[in-house]
Amino acid sequence: MIHAVQERTDPIRPNKEPVDWPTILSVLPESPGVYMHLDENDTIIYVGKAKNLKRRVASYFNKTQDNSKTRIMVRKIRNIRYLVVESEEDAFLLENNLIKEHQPRYNILLKDDKTYPRIVIKNEPFPRIFLTRQKTDDRSHYYGPYTSVLSVKQLLRFLTSLYPIRICNHLLTEENIAKGKFRLCLQYHIKKCAGPCMGLQTEDDYNHSVHVIEEILKGNSKEMSQLLYQNMMRLASEMRFEEAALLKERYEMLENYSAKSIIVNPSFNNVDVFSYDENEQSAYINYLHIAKGAIIRGYTIEYKKQLDESRETILAMGIMELRTRFESRANQLIVPFRPDIELTGVEWLVPQRGEKKKLLELSEKNVRQYKLDRLKQAETLNPEQRSTRILKTLQNDLHLQELPIHIECFDNSNIQGTNPVSSCVVFKKAKPSKKEYRHFNIKTVVGPDDFSSMYETVFRRYKRLSEEEQPFPQLIVIDGGKGQLHAAADALKALDLYGRIAVIGIAKRLEEIYFPSDPIPLYLDKNSESLKLIQQLRDEAHRFGITFHRNKRSRQQVASELDGIKGIGPVLKEKLLKKYKSVKRIKEAPPAEIEDLIGKSKAEILFRNFHPAE
């Protein structure tokens, strides 16, 4: 709660007067509080909290701001208002409320701010139990709030199957029941209600069911389960088997319900767990609440960043928001690092090992998954966003000066030096641009020399691009180790392009990344998107090169047998291959069939060449 709030509502300076910041700042109190920056239209553009209002507000004007958005905001400030509170915790709560109310342009904004469901036990004869989003001061008992409507409905179904509770809106006073104003409804006939409206269930019996449900909602399901077991055994010993069988059914249902929520250590009670993750645009905070050894609540919120807020500040805001929203009074808080806030009567825990560390890791797993889900949702709506993110990650991992929108990858192919070829594949915005793929027949290299072949290919590729004034890639990937990479670098140096285009090599053995001027390789995480993109480039270049090499070999093998036959020209050769597909099938074809296709004389020439012994 906020105590003794002193509010300054008049502007510190009129809108139209020149800004005299030294005079303005001199009147600010050195107390905890909340300040509001207003623009020339008297619109609140930023709300902040401070342990010392004077020192915090003065920091906007007494030093150069590193963040560009902060500099822009400071230039727009024309008025300042502030409210004094008694403690930093009060300042956090007040700041949160004012941000929700005014939605300032430069504040970090909570993306999800809605009313959450609760379970209410009404203050009335034969109390109803149902889901609600409204909390009124009618002395009814409210439980929650809960993070999911679906989970609340499932919980209510379980509770009403355990103990029949009425759902009608009748006022079940003793007088109304005695007068017989009501009739049994379908709920009674399907055994979802015990018929209190007709006096078939006493109020004491009904209230006992409500009491058990309340205890379960409070988290005391284990105690209720033990009590059911004791009563079941007592009834069985008294030969009251039908009643004992009903309690056994309830006992098994309650045990099954409890078993689904148990965590590692049942001794944990009233503990809040928070974890944090972020990207450039957003911050994510996951919250778990543990009561009597069970995770009874879990939720993740997202903040949209505006200025250069620290993670300690954002985590503090998230903790205050979530504890207020879900009315948590836990005095043990497990966090990944100390947030920028002090709370009265709260013990902060940053576990390094043990079961509390496992709880924190569970929360961190949830916040990472939420962040990934949000990212996938955004990328489904905007596919280019994914490409840009991957390329930015690659740029950071490889320390590139430019975003590698255009990447080219080279690979050599030969078998024992025969038919040497090279391939170049082109990726634009992290996707293959197949119409720009190129093959190279090696012209100047004799024998199996991968280094010289790579030099020739890279030299020819970029000499041509230079002559045609085509754009160069931002990154070149070489399939191979240091030798192939240095050959490619030498080719770029010969063209005076070295340093203008980034070039790396990827070795197959350990997937290490080499740079021309660094003997020590870079090892990227095996699951990183950067490495996966480089591997995709490498594999595509290899596939493209192997296909070209295989086709070239096949053409040469065909040519060596048909082209050497005197009298069989290109037209007949094409005609034969079009029908039989290979020389082997031509040899195996019946002579009469060949004769029908190309004529008797040509068929005899072909037969004598393929079957000289006959």
| Alpha-carbon gap, residue 506 to 394, rounded angstroms | 14
- Can you tell me the mean pLDDT for 588-613? 81
- Can you tell me the mean pLDDT for 400-409? 93
pLDDT: is 351 or 548 the higher one? 351
pLDDT: is 347 or 90 the higher one? 347
pLDDT: is 518 or 427 the higher one? 427
For residue 513, the Cα-to-chain-centroid distance in whole angstroms is: 27
**What are the respective helix, strand and coil percentages of the chain, to the nearest 5?**
45, 20, 35
- What is the pLDDT, as a whole number, of residue 247? 79
In 3D space, the residue among 82, 99, 83 whose CA is nearest the CA of residue 4 turns out to be 83
- What is the pLDDT, as a whole number, of residue 442? 81
- What is the pLDDT, as a whole number, of residue 405? 92
209, 163 contact by CB (below 8 A): yes
- What is the pLDDT, as a whole number, of residue 4? 38
> Mapping DSSP to helix (H, G, I), strand (E, B) and coil, where does residue 192 land?
coil
- What is the pLDDT, as a whole number, of residue 419? 64
Residues ≥6 apart with Cβ < 8 Å to 601: none
| Alpha-carbon gap, residue 257 to 259, rounded angstroms | 6
pLDDT tier for residue 1 given thresholds of 50, 70 and 90: very low
pLDDT at 8 over 60: no
- Can you tell me the mean pLDDT for 55-70? 79
pLDDT at 16 over 60: no
Per-residue pLDDT reduced to its tens digit, 80-102: 888 887 777 778 777 877 887 77
pLDDT tier for residue 262 given thresholds of 50, 70 and 90: very low
Supply the DSSP symbol for 198: G
What domains, with CATH codes, occur in the chain? 6-107 (3.40.1440.10), 118-259 (no CATH), 271-378 (3.30.420), 394-552 (3.30.420.340), 563-610 (no CATH)
Find where tokens 């990650």 sit.
Answer: 393
251, 152 contact by CB (below 8 A): no
What is the identity of the amino acid at 507?
A
Mean pLDDT lowest for which of 83-97, 482-496, 557-571?
A: 557-571
pLDDT at 459 over 90: yes
Q: Which residues pair with 411 in a beta bridge?
A: 423
pLDDT tier for residue 258 given thresholds of 50, 70 and 90: low
How much is the mean pLDDT over the chain?
81
pLDDT: is 170 or 575 the higher one? 170
pLDDT tier for residue 462 given thresholds of 50, 70 and 90: very high
Supply the DSSP symbol for 197: G
- What is the pLDDT, as a whole number, of residue 463? 92
pLDDT: is 48 or 66 the higher one? 48
| Alpha-carbon gap, residue 124 to 140, rounded angstroms | 8
Q: What is the pTM of this model?
A: 0.52
What six digits make up the tokens of 427? 């990726």
Q: Which residues pair with 287 in a beta bridge?
A: 274, 299
Percent of the chain with pLDDT over 90: 16
492, 527 contact by CB (below 8 A): no
- Can you tell me the mean pLDDT for 411-416? 70
CB atoms within 10 A of CB 599: 12
pLDDT at 404 over 50: yes
pLDDT at 458 over 70: yes
Mean pLDDT lowest for which of 352-356, 398-402, 560-564?
A: 560-564
| Alpha-carbon gap, residue 498 to 489, rounded angstroms | 7
What is the identity of the amino acid at 256?
N
Mean pLDDT lowest for which of 213-217, 418-422, 557-561, 590-594?
A: 557-561
| Alpha-carbon gap, residue 73 to 102, rounded angstroms | 16
pLDDT tier for residue 476 given thresholds of 50, 70 and 90: very high
Per-residue pLDDT reduced to its tens digit, 358-395: 889 888 888 888 888 787 777 776 777 788 888 998 99
- What is the pLDDT, as a whole number, of residue 554? 58
- What is the pLDDT, as a whole number, of residue 13? 44
Residues ≥6 apart with Cβ < 8 Å to 521: 507, 512, 513, 514
- Can you tell me the mean pLDDT for 597-601? 83
pLDDT tier for residue 285 given thresholds of 50, 70 and 90: very high
pLDDT tier for residue 9 given thresholds of 50, 70 and 90: very low
- What is the pLDDT, as a whole number, of residue 3? 40
- What is the pLDDT, as a whole number, of residue 97? 76
Phi, psi of 110 (to 5 degrees): -75, 125
Give first-to-last CA distance, the chain, whole Å.
108
pLDDT at 76 over 50: yes
SS (H, E, C) 329-359: CCCEEECCCCCCCCCCCCEEECCCCHHHHHH
- What is the pLDDT, as a whole number, of residue 211? 87
DSSP secondary structure, 165-178, as one string = ---------HHHHH
> Mapping DSSP to helix (H, G, I), strand (E, B) and coil, where does residue 131 land?
strand
- Can you tell me the mean pLDDT for 43-48? 87
- What is the pLDDT, as a whole number, of residue 555? 57
E strands, 462-549, in order: 475-479, 502-506, 513-515, 518-522
Q: What is the dihedral of CA 132, 138, 143, 148, to 10 degrees?
A: 20
CB atoms within 10 A of CB 366: 20
